[in-house]
Amino acid sequence: MKALLVLALGSVCVTAMASEAPTDVAQQQPPIEEYTYSMNLDIAKVISMSEAPNVCEVVPMKMEYEDSNGQRHILRYSAMGNGCSNG
């Protein structure tokens, strides 16, 4: 009977810890900043960049980077897609 109680309490604790994990990750994710031409960017290391789709129009892009203090940032900006030709 005691073993069954320990098993039941253990599964409740594991479930509670599993449900807390995504919130911890969400809190670590930096907010998305919208790029403006007046911004002074401090980019020490680019972590990831979205790829431009094969369309001939302006599309939203994202870049995740670290500044010179080691803080992560996510920057949203607009760029032209790769689907245009000069022909």
Q: Which pLDDT belongs to residue 85? A: 80
pLDDT interval class at 4 (50, 70, 90): low
Query: Tell me: the pLDDT tens digits for 19-75?
Result: 555 555 556 789 999 999 999 999 999 999 999 999 999 999 999 999 999 999 999
Q: Which pLDDT belongs to residue 43? A: 96
What number does CATH give the domain 31-87?
2.30.140.50
Residue spans per domain, the chain? 1-29, 31-87
Whether the pLDDT of residue 3 is over 70: the answer is no
C-alpha dist (Å) from residue 12 to 16, 17, 19, 38, 53: 6, 9, 11, 51, 45
Q: Which pLDDT belongs to residue 20? A: 52
Ramachandran quadrant class, 24 (left: phi over 0; alpha: psi -120 to 50; beta: rest) = alpha
